[in-house]
């Protein structure tokens, strides 16, 4: 067992974990952060995407011990004071989800995408979300959601900010 | 109760509004209840041990090492639970003679596909269970396996030696015998002398539903009812079948489908893992959970499609079709699953599609192979049928040198001819193929693209343009119970709804359908809001728990709105009828003078009235209500449809094919669907988009590929090619509307339309792009390699068929080592 201390969704946590424990398992099993989900075992689907120090990572591809001392944000930490993140609002507005299973990862990746490129083209959005699989929407409305969020971000600067 | 006189404000109708979904508020915030999220006190975790062999006898299983591993509570083999685990059932024996082997949830003596469960480990954590599963030592005696569908039909190697054959059932429909049309063989013979006969061998490859949420089941045996949470489309059917096969009284079983992450037919299933989990929970009398890995999901969750199709089309020289004969081999995999051979039978009525064929015959032989069992996948039988007929209609057009839309128009049922009884005996109630086609052509810019195609062909461009057509219909709203009875299906097709009028004016609509992404909570709220005149926000839709929603037939076959929505309408109408005498009493009026509109009961000829919420509160208080009636305005309704509904539409697809590399790029895709009256256009758009990509993906990317020893090599998301956002495009979706006459809302269903329509549209486009190079077919998925081979096989005048053989076939000439179906 290894002791780790990190910040998850703004809260400081400390735990003893097996060295082999994945960050996504730590989030779900130890912290009850079940908003972040597991969709595959080969790091293809991106359903488990979270932010590590503000950058998107697939949390099945990070060991919990690697997050020691870092700052993790999950889908559950996006809303502030009851107000949804603009990307969450955009997904709702544009019907960017159906079953909702890929949605946490998709939203986290979309935020990262706009952080890097606040005014992407449709093609850039499509490439930027390539690591996140969805089986319900055909991506049409997911892409629309991200473009909507970019368009509605004030001066194209704050959509990605957390 | 005081009668109010405030003037009613007529709300704008909810039906037709693009309401944002109620469901989303939770889902976008991560406040979800996936089965795998559940944790119960003292809960154990299961890891399955699965067969690596496609066919083998289980000689012995040594569990001792696993049992002594840390925190392992139990290790169980099939022999240990053979008497208690129940059996996996087939609900639809398609013929009385159907051969079906017993399907134990956990194999007891023999395994019949790679991935079948042979043992299970119970441990305190999932990781410990999985570690210990590695220590279970199974001794197998490998047996000969048969993997190829056509080889299996030859019965040289048997999947189930005791059955003596791999052939399970032969199901036939003949229009001459049924009295719905002429003799197809005569039509074909006549066309051989003075017309055109087109015969095609088509392959519907095996694909995997690949819902995003891996299946999970939690069982709690510690309360009065044994509770099963499971990631399923069909909680009611799971409950019934568990009771029927395990001996647990149905009244002692509660099945809950909490949040369910997609299904597409893949969760229209009774799974061995559910049955094993229940057996183990009863054995150890503790709560437990099983969550599959993605690889387990792809390997052992049922697959779809998997047909070999021989299509013979007879026509006159002017293009008028005179007969259609369909001969199918359908791959069951190693067991007859829940619907099993019923899936191709669902397609039997759809090969004649939108056309006025005078003679029709359908034959399906279901066949066992040593592969994962197959069952419903989005469209279930209808995509296979639509693919075949739409592919062959294109070939007929090519044969005659006319536009593919022209040949369709020559044969389709015209708008004036509805209602129309088809050659397969179905009564199509409404439709307008002309209108949908005209709109789709305009959306695509059909004539302009045809002109561009001509230019590029003449110029001999390296990249050629192809335009694909699919004018589909489907039968939805499964299903009239009496028809299911005639087809020997094991249950009915009705649907149930209850409306509960709460004292505070809120409304609960309890539905028997079980959504997993379709937005029922939103769409049904819109229906109830309009019907009862209550605010959309005041309606709560409850579902997916057999103790809350006691009666239901669940969600599949584009039935939820068409059947379930009508049940909601009828329950709401009963609420109004029950509330009316109470309102009349309170308004001191004769009940015959009381009218209901937009949420208010009013007295004819006066300004007196009261709202539905006031009646609900007065009924709750029950201080003042008429003699002789119950103080209760809640109502139930069960709707059993008299017929199916028939969505239709025209889909057009433009692709560019690089003749040097075989690469296919989609340029534009338009869908004009007639799905009847639309409740929520936003949700409908989403259903179409997602359906399209699943169908497009079958055409271009997906295939469950097995190696020679029966191992699923596309057994992870590394190898099973689910499309990404970068592979796909945005779509143009629009509608024409011919209301259905089979339900009062006029809805037809939309869940499967996109998938049914798009596969042939895409393959037709690919073939159309290179048909002038001699290509008549490209086997799905149309990978660059297959397209390239199809083009270049024609260089030497060889038939397309050889070049378009499935990958991994040993006799594929000069194959470079291309693995999988990726591009």
Alpha-carbon gap, residue B329 to B334, rounded angstroms: 14
> Is A62 in the same domain as A111?
no
Query: Cβ separation of B32 and A37 shorter than 8 Å?
Result: yes
Residue numbers of chain B with a pLDDT score lower than 70: 1-10, 794-823
Quickly count: other Cβ atoms within 10 Å of residue B4's Cβ: 15
**A46 is a domain residue:** yes
CA separation, residue B204 to residues A87, B302, B391, B780 (Å): 40, 16, 12, 7
The beta-carbon neighbor of B718 closest among A42, A91, A103 is: A42
pLDDT of res. B808: 47
Tokens of B380: 């279930």
For tokens 């032989």, the residue is B365
Q: How many domains does chain A divide into?
A: 2
Which of A77, A99, A123 is a domain's end point? A77
Terminal CA-CA length for chain B: 71
Query: Cβ separation of B127 and A18 shorter than 8 Å?
Result: yes
B162: buried, middle or exposed (CB in 10 Å: 19+, 13-18, 0-12)?
Answer: exposed
Measuring CA to CA, which residue among B178, B470, B195, B472 is closest to residue B322?
A: B195
Task: Answer whether 0.90 is exceeded by the pTM.
Answer: yes
> Is A36 in the same domain as A102?
no
Query: Cβ separation of A103 and B213 shorter than 8 Å?
Result: no
3-state secondary structure B324-339: EEEEEEEEEECCCCCC
Residues of A in contact with B685 (CB under 8 A): 95, 140-141
> Is A49 in the same domain as A102?
no
- The DSSP bridge pattern shows strands A71-73 and A49-52 to be antiparallel
The beta-carbon neighbor of B730 closest among A37, A103, A143 is: A143
> Is A97 in the same domain as A45?
no
Please name the residue of chain A whose CA is at the shortest distance from the CA of residue B697. A138
> Would you call the peptide bond into B7 cis, given omega within 30 degrees of 0 as the criterion?
no
> Is A25 in the same domain as A44?
yes
**A44 is a domain residue:** yes
Residue A13 forms beta bridges with which residues? A6
> What ipTM was assigned to the predicted interfaces of this complex?
0.96
Query: Cβ separation of B724 and A139 shorter than 8 Å?
Result: yes
Tokens of B289: 């959970």
Q: Which of B18, B21, B28 to mutate to test the interface with A (most CBs of A within 10 A)?
A: B28
Tokens of B377: 């996948």
pLDDT of res. B47: 98
A149: buried, middle or exposed (CB in 10 Å: 19+, 13-18, 0-12)?
Answer: buried
Please name the residue of chain B whose CA is at the shortest distance from the CA of residue A134. B212
Count the helices and strands in chain B (H runs, E runs). Answer: 23, 28
Q: What is the pLDDT of residues A15-63, one digit of tens each?
A: 999 999 999 999 999 999 999 999 999 999 999 999 999 999 999 999 9
Measuring CA to CA, which residue among B288, B329, B294, B327 is closest to residue B308?
A: B329
A79 part of contact set with chain B, CB < 8 Å? yes
CB B491 within 8 A of CB B237: yes
Q: Min CA distance, B22 vs chain A (Å)?
A: 9
Quickly count: other Cβ atoms within 10 Å of residue B257's Cβ: 28
The beta-carbon neighbor of B716 closest among A42, A97, A142 is: A42
Alpha-carbon gap, residue B573 to B484, rounded angstroms: 27
pLDDT of res. B822: 34
**A137 is a domain residue:** yes
Q: Min CA distance, A50 vs chain B (Å)?
A: 12
CB B477 within 8 A of CB B742: yes
b/e per residue B204-232 (b: at least 16 CB within 10 A): bbbbbbbbbbbbbbbbbbeeebbbbbbbb
Query: Cβ separation of B690 and A98 shorter than 8 Å?
Result: yes
Query: Cβ separation of B728 and A132 shorter than 8 Å?
Result: no
The beta-carbon neighbor of A143 closest among B30, B295, B725 is: B725
> Is A72 in the same domain as A94?
no
Phi, psi (deg, nearest 5) at residue B545: -135, 120
Q: Which of B725, B728, B759 to mutate to test the interface with A (most CBs of A within 10 A)?
A: B725
Chain A stretch 111-140, residues whose beta carbon is closer than 8 A to a beta carbon of chain B: 122, 125-127, 129-140
Residue B313 forms beta bridges with which residues? B198, B324
Three-state DSSP class for residue B773: helix
Q: Which of B27, B721, B727 to mutate to test the interface with A (most CBs of A within 10 A)?
A: B27
Residue B734 CB partners (closer than 8 Å, separation 6+): B439, B440, B443, B670, B671, B672, B673
Tokens of B552: 């239901």
Query: Cβ separation of B36 and A144 shorter than 8 Å?
Result: no
CB B64 within 8 A of CB B133: no
CB B733 within 8 A of CB B135: no
A36 part of contact set with chain B, CB < 8 Å? yes
Quickly count: other Cβ atoms within 10 Å of residue A52's Cβ: 17
Q: Which of A74, A99, A141 to mutate to test the interface with B (most CBs of B within 10 A)?
A: A99
**Per-domain residue ranges for chain B?**
24-32+494-639
Angle formed by the axes of helices B235-246 and B272-284, nearest 10°: 60
> Is A98 in the same domain as A62?
no
pLDDT of res. B794: 61
Alpha-carbon gap, residue B375 to B301, rounded angstroms: 10
> Would you call the peptide bond into B193 cis, given omega within 30 degrees of 0 as the criterion?
no
Q: How far is CA B174 from the centre of its chain?
A: 26
Please name the residue of chain B whose CA is at the shortest distance from the CA of residue A106. B28
Q: Which of A73, A101, A137, A148 to mutate to test the interface with B (most CBs of B within 10 A)?
A: A101
Query: Apex CA B90: angle with CA B84 and CA B95, to 5°?
Result: 140
Q: Min CA distance, A53 vs chain B (Å)?
A: 20
pLDDT of res. B793: 84
CB B505 within 8 A of CB B380: no
The beta-carbon neighbor of B689 closest among A75, A132, A137 is: A137
Alpha-carbon gap, residue B329 to B336, rounded angstroms: 14
The beta-carbon neighbor of B213 closest among A84, A101, A122 is: A101
Query: Cβ separation of B30 and A130 shorter than 8 Å?
Result: no
The CATH number assigned to the domain holding A11 equals 3.10.20.30
Residues of A in contact with B517 (CB under 8 A): 98-100, 136
Which of A49, A77, A105 is a domain's end point? A77
Measuring CA to CA, which residue among B184, B487, B448, B155 is closest to residue B313?
A: B184
Q: Min CA distance, B198 vs chain A (Å)?
A: 35
**A12 is a domain residue:** yes
A83 part of contact set with chain B, CB < 8 Å? no
Measuring CA to CA, which residue among B687, B676, B683 is closest to residue B745?
A: B676
Query: Cβ separation of B725 and A139 shorter than 8 Å?
Result: yes
**A108 is a domain residue:** yes
CB B239 within 8 A of CB B294: no
Helix (H), strand (E) at residue B472: strand B463-473
Alpha-carbon gap, residue B322 to B189, rounded angstroms: 11
Residues of A in contact with B698 (CB under 8 A): none
Strand order in the sheet with A55-58: A11-17, A2-8, A71-73, A49-52, A55-58
Query: Cβ separation of B689 and A141 shorter than 8 Å?
Result: yes
Which of A77, A95, A128 is a domain's end point? A77
Q: Min CA distance, A54 vs chain B (Å)?
A: 18
Alpha-carbon gap, residue B447 to B21, rounded angstroms: 38
Alpha-carbon gap, residue B700 to B782, rounded angstroms: 5
CA separation, residue B543 to residues A103, B236, B252, B255, B257 (Å): 22, 11, 19, 11, 8
Q: Which of B24, B39, B719 to mutate to test the interface with A (most CBs of A within 10 A)?
A: B24
Q: Min CA distance, B176 vs chain A (Å)?
A: 42
Measuring CA to CA, which residue among B263, B224, B258, B257 is closest to residue B239?
A: B257
b/e per residue B743-780 (b: at least 16 CB within 10 A): bbbbbbbbbbbbbbbbbbbbbbbbbbbbbebbbbbbbb
Quickly count: other Cβ atoms within 10 Å of residue B122's Cβ: 25
Q: Min CA distance, A131 vs chain B (Å)?
A: 7
**CATH number attached to the domain at B24-32+494-639:** 3.30.365.10
pLDDT of res. B9: 59
H-state helical runs in B606-646: 612-621
Q: Min CA distance, A159 vs chain B (Å)?
A: 16
Q: What is the pLDDT of residues B561-583, one digit of tens each?
A: 999 999 999 999 999 999 999 99
**Cα atoms in the 13 Å half-sphere on the side-chain side of A66:** 14
Q: What is the pLDDT of residues B755-802, one digit of tens each?
A: 999 999 999 999 999 999 999 999 999 999 999 999 998 665 444 454
**A50 is a domain residue:** yes
Structural domain for A51, as ranges: 2-77
For tokens 């082997």, the residue is B101
For tokens 């829940």, the residue is B338
> Is A60 in the same domain as A92?
no
Query: Cβ separation of B294 and A40 shorter than 8 Å?
Result: yes
Tokens of B813: 């000439």
Tokens of B667: 């340029």
> Is A36 in the same domain as A100?
no
């Amino acid at each position: 067992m290894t002791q780790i201390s990190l910040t998850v969704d703004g809260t400081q946590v400390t735990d003893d974990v097996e060295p082999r424990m994945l960050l996504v398992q730590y989030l779900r099993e130890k912290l009850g952060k079940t908003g972040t989900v597991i969709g595959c075992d080969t790091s293809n689907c991106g359903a488990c995407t979270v932010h590590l120090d503000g950058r998107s990572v697939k949390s099945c591809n990070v060991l919990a011990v690697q997050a020691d001392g870092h700052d993790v944000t999950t889908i559950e930490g996006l809303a502030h004071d009851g107000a949804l993140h603009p990307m969450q609002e955009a997904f709702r507005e544009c019907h960017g989800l159906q079953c909702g299973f890929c949605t946490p990862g998709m939203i986290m990746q979309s935020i990262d995408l706009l952080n890097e490129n606040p005014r992407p083209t449709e093609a850039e959005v499509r490439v930027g979300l390539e690591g996140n699989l969805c089986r319900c929407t055909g991506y049409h409305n997911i892409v629309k959601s991200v473009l909507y969020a970019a368009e509605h971000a004030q001066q194209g600067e704050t959509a990605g900010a957390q | 109760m005081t009668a109010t006189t405030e003037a009613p404000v007529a709300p704008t109708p909810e039906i037709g509004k693009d309401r944002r979904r109620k469901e989303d508020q939770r889902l976008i915030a991560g406040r979800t209840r996936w089965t795998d999220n559940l944790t119960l006190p003292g809960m154990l975790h299961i890891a399955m041990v699965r067969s690596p062999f496609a066919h083998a006898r289980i000689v012995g299983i040594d569990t001792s090492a696993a049992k002594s591993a840390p925190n392992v509570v139990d290790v169980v083999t099939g022999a240990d639970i053979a008497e208690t685990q129940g059996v996996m059932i087939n609900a639809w024996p398609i013929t009385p003679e159907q051969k079906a082997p017993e399907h134990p949830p956990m194999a007891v003596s023999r395994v019949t596909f790679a991935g079948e469960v042979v043992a299970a480990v119970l441990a305190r954590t999932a990781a410990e269970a999985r570690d210990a599963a590695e220590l279970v030592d199974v001794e197998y005696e490998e047996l000969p396996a048969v993997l190829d569908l056509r080889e299996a039909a030859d019965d040289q190697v048997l999947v189930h030696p005791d059955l003596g054959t791999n052939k399970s059932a032969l199901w036939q429909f003949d229009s001459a015998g049924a009295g719905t049309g002429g003799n197809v063989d005569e039509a074909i013979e006549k066309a051989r002398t003075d017309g055109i006969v087109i015969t095609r061998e088509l392959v519907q490859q095996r694909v995997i539903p690949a819902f995003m949420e891996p299946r999970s089941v939690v069982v709690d045996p510690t309360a009065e009812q044994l509770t099963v949470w499971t990631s399923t489309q069909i909680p009611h059917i799971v409950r019934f079948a568990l009771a029927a096969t395990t001996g647990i009284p149905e009244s002692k079983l509660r099945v809950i489908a909490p949040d369910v992450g997609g299904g597409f037919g893949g969760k229209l299933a009774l799974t061995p893992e559910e049955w094993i989990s229940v057996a183990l929970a009863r054995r150890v009398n503790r709560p437990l959970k099983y969550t599959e890995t993605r690889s387990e999901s792809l390997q052992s969750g049922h697959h779809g499609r998997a047909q070999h199709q021989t299509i013979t089309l007879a026509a006159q020289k002017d293009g008028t079709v005179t007969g259609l004969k369909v001969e199918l081999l359908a791959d069951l995999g190693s067991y007859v699953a829940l619907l099993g051979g019923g899936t191709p039978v669902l397609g039997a009525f759809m090969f004649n599609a939108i056309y006025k064929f005078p003679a029709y015959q359908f034959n399906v032989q279901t066949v066992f192979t040593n592969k994962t069992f197959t069952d419903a996948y989005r469209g279930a039988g209808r995509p296979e049928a639509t693919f075949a007929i739409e592919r062959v209609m294109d070939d007929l057009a090519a044969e005659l040198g006319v536009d593919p839309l022209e040949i369709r128009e020559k044969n389709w049922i015209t708008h004036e001819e509805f209602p129309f009884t088809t050659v397969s005996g179905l009564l199509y109630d409404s439709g307008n193929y002309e209108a949908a086609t005209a709109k789709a052509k305009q959306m695509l810019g059909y004539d302009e693209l045809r002109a561009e195609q001509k230019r590029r062909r003449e110029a001999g461009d390296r990249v050629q343009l192809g335009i694909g057509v699919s004018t589909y219909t489907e039968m939805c709203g499964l299903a009239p119970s009496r028809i299911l009875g005639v087809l020997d299906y094991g249950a009915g097709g009705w649907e149930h709804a209850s409306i509960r009028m709460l004292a505070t004016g809120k409304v609960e609509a309890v539905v028997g359908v079980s959504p997993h992404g379709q937005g029922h909570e939103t769409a049904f709220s819109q229906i109830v809001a309009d019907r009862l005149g209550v605010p959309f926000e005041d309606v709560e839709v409850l579902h997916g728990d057999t103790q809350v929603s006691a009666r239901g037939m669940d969600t599949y076959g584009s039935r939820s709105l068409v059947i379930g929505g009508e049940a909601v309408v009828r329950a709401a109408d009963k609420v109004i009828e029950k509330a009316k005498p109470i309102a009349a009493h309170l308004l001191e009026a004769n009940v015959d003078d009381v009218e209901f509109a937009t949420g208010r009961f009013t007295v004819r000829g006066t300004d007196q009235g009261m709202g539905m919420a006031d009646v609900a509160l007065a009924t709750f208080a029950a201080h003042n209500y008429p003699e002789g009636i119950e103080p209760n305005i809640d109502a139930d309704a069960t709707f059993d449809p008299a017929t199916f509904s028939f969505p239709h539409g025209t889909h057009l697809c433009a692709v560019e094919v690089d003749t040097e590399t075989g690469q296919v790029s989609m340029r534009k895709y338009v869908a004009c669907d007639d799905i009847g009256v639309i409740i929520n256009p936003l949700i409908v758009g989403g259903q179409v988009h997602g359906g399209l990509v699943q169908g497009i993906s079958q055409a271009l990317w997906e295939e469950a590929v097995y190696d020679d020893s029966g191992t699923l090599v596309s057994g992870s998301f590394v190898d099973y090619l689910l499309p990404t956002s970068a592979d796909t495009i945005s779509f143009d979706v629009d509608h024409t509307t011919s209301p259905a006459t089979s339900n009062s809302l006029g809805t037809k269903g939309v869940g499967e339309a996109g998938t049914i329509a798009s596969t042939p549209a895409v393959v037709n486009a690919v073939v159309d792009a290179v048909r002038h190079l001699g290509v008549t077919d490209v086997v799905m998925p149309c990978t660059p390699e297959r397209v390239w081979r199809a083009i270049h096989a024609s260089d030497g005048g060889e038939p397309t068929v050889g070049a378009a053989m499935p990958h991994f076939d040993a006799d594929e000439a000069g194959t470079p080592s291309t693995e999988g179906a990726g591009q």
